[in-house]
Structure 1
């Protein structure tokens, strides 16, 4: 059992979100789902809590009502091996949501994601400060991260 896990508060879209997220990630599954009964506080039969797993990480989704919204202060970061993975996750997760700078996006539920290729931290961490600076400047111009452009900036 995972000691600490993300607990995501939705208004009333927990079931839709869990279904969506498990369709995006290949290594995923839906776990136990608990529904509201006649005592409420949500409508009887609707999801109260749904457990799910993405890439080995356990999550819980709650339909808690409209009081709280997601913010960029918390995001899910996806480590991508190459541009094809970046493109896949970027396209799937941004559909119906909104994109932002430097590989960040909000999905259609308002949850923030960072879609990051393994090349980015490697190139930003180059011991040659001039190369790392060129990579940073290139990244700051991007929404979705483009590995080829990062590598070109790194090369000078």
Structure 2
């Protein structure tokens, strides 16, 4: 049986808001499954127990952690997006960067004529590259 490796994103109460935002940004994107915590379960009622979604045909899973941690997302792991046009690059940069943080401003860094690295408002890190 083949193994499947799927990125798992752990949020602290805003998983559904994040995945609905991400799915709105990409073609071939959808929420495949969304399971919420119910009464008496370990997580806050209504928060995401387990969700599966796709972005540009790639599968991701996520949760709202019922356990509070002293860590969150780090730029060491990021989602890399090859943008096919300058318009797509700018649209994603503006939308993902809104209320987030720019780690590397859009520029020609030698390895790419147009590249930026940012963290979105949920703390997830994205690298955008104009292909």
| Superposition TM-score, scaled by structure 1 size | 0.70
Partner of 1:142: none
In structure 1, distance between residues paired with 2:3 and 2:72: 25
Q: Does 1:117 align with 2:130?
A: yes
Q: What secondary structure is seen at the aligned counterpart in 2 of 1:85?
A: helix
Q: What secondary structure is seen at the aligned counterpart in 1 of 2:10?
A: strand
Partner of 1:15: 16
Larger Rg: 1
**Would you say the 8 A contact 1:10–1:66 is kept in 2?**
no
Instruction: Please state which structure has a larger fraction of its residues in strand.
Output: 2
Count of residues in Structure 1 that have an aligned counterpart in Structure 2: 118
In structure 2, distance between residues paired with 1:100 and 1:74: 13
In structure 2, distance between residues paired with 1:2 and 1:115: 28
Specify every segment of 5 or more residues in structure 2 that has no aligned partner in the other structure, as ranges. Answer: 105-114
Q: What secondary structure is seen at the aligned counterpart in 1 of 2:76?
A: coil
In structure 1, distance between residues paired with 2:46 and 2:97: 30
